[in-house]
Amino acid sequence: MAKTIFVFPGQGAQYVGMGKALSESFAPAKELLQKADDVLGFSLSKVMFDGPEEDLKMTANTQPALFVFSMMVLEILKAEGIPFDLVAGHSLGEYSAICAAGGFSFEDGLKLVRLRGSLMAEAGRTNPGAMAAIIGVDDEKIQALCDEAKDAGVVVPANFNCPGQIVVSGEVDAVNKLVANCASAGIKAVPLAVSGAFHSPLMQSAQPGLADAIAQTAFHDLQKPLIANVTAKEVTSGNEIKDLLVRQLVNPVRWSQSMLYAQKELGVTAGVEVGAGHVLAGLQRKIDRSVKISAVESVEAVQALKGAL
């Protein structure tokens, strides 16, 4: 039987103007955005619509902005009656996925991602780090590159995005050494503009605060399975998900492995990228072209999708 996965993007997909057209054309999306402003106690919608970009790029703003926008798009998918069988989200997107599958309320999810963004930014200031995308190497080679650079400090694989695109994360000197080693070996390495070494041990200082907040949040067992970043396996237990979200801060996002598992083990045949941009749809073309992911962030795109699914 055909199965559809809803996937939710993470940090990097944001842009000034996000959500503006949607809130003007779809009343439930506008209501959700107003609710977000009320919950947060400041105008997130203004930051999303008008920026400036420097404000939107602040991790403590980026994370709630992306979460809210994904939930706005989800409202259209629900209104159009487009069903889904399971969910996954890239890093921050995992919170959107959990909310979509009934794991916690919109309000609670929003508070968690705002706190997560603040804690990660603080960890980035306390333990300055860097990240870089390494192009055209496999998992084994990336581990070897990290091992070769570790005498300069901590550096680990952080995102297994797709075959040939793996992001590393760690201390500045170690990441710089790895990038220099790549240049010497003719391997393409692209330093990323980030505020910290996400998904590495440098984020450990953010874990206690996030764990406390998660412990005080009402989590429910999911109505649809989540393929978790940390394990690349499905999970529905609310208690297990609490633990996975804390671990996710310092562990790699196994996106490529997750999407292959969805197709090979769970029978996924199609996907919808719910939220800003089309990063995950692009990655999917490099992971497995037999499962197409359609990116949607407007009423028109959802209506067009309805005819295609």
* Residue range 127-165, pLDDT digits in tens: 999 999 999 999 999 999 999 999 999 999 999 999 999
Asked, colleague to colleague, whether 3-124+202-307 and 129-194 share their fold, the answer is no
pLDDT of 305 reads 86
Residue 1 has pLDDT above 80, yes or no: no
Q: Are the C-beta atoms of 86 and 227 separated by less than 8 Å?
A: yes
Q: Which CATH number fits domain 3-124+202-307: 3.40.50.720, 3.40.50.1980, 3.40.50.300, 3.40.366.10?
A: 3.40.366.10
The one catalytic residue among 23, 45, 70, 91 = 91
Residue 309 has pLDDT above 80, yes or no: no
pLDDT digit string, tens, across residues 223-233: 999 999 999 99
pLDDT of 290 reads 95
Residue 304 has pLDDT above 90, yes or no: no
134, two tokens: 């390494």
pLDDT of 160 reads 99
Q: Are the C-beta atoms of 47 and 33 separated by less than 8 Å?
A: no
Cβ contacts of 227 within 8 Å, gap of 6 or more? 5, 86, 87, 88, 233, 234, 235, 258, 259, 261, 262, 266
Say whether 91 is catalytic: yes
pLDDT of 307 reads 73
Say whether 294 is catalytic: no
Residue 282 has pLDDT above 80, yes or no: yes
Q: Of 284, 282, 296, 253, whose CA–CA distance to 93 is shortest? A: 253
| Backbone region of residue 159 per phi and psi (left: phi > 0; alpha: psi in -120 to 50; beta: other values) | beta
CA distances from 46 to 41, 55, 108 (A): 12, 10, 21
pTM above 0.75, yes or no: yes
pLDDT of 200 reads 99
Average pLDDT, the chain: 97
pLDDT digit string, tens, across residues 210-253: 999 999 999 999 999 999 999 999 999 999 999 999 999 999 99
pLDDT of 93 reads 99
The one catalytic residue among 45, 90, 199, 294 = 199
Domain segments of the chain as ranges? 3-124+202-307, 129-194
279, two tokens: 């990063």
For residues 108-129, give the mean pLDDT: 98
pLDDT band at 303 (very low <50, low <70, confident <90, very high): confident
Residue 71 has pLDDT above 80, yes or no: yes
For residues 174-182, give the mean pLDDT: 99
Return the CATH architecture of domain 129-194.
Answer: 2-Layer Sandwich (3.30)
Residue with tokens 């039987």: 1
pLDDT of 206 reads 99
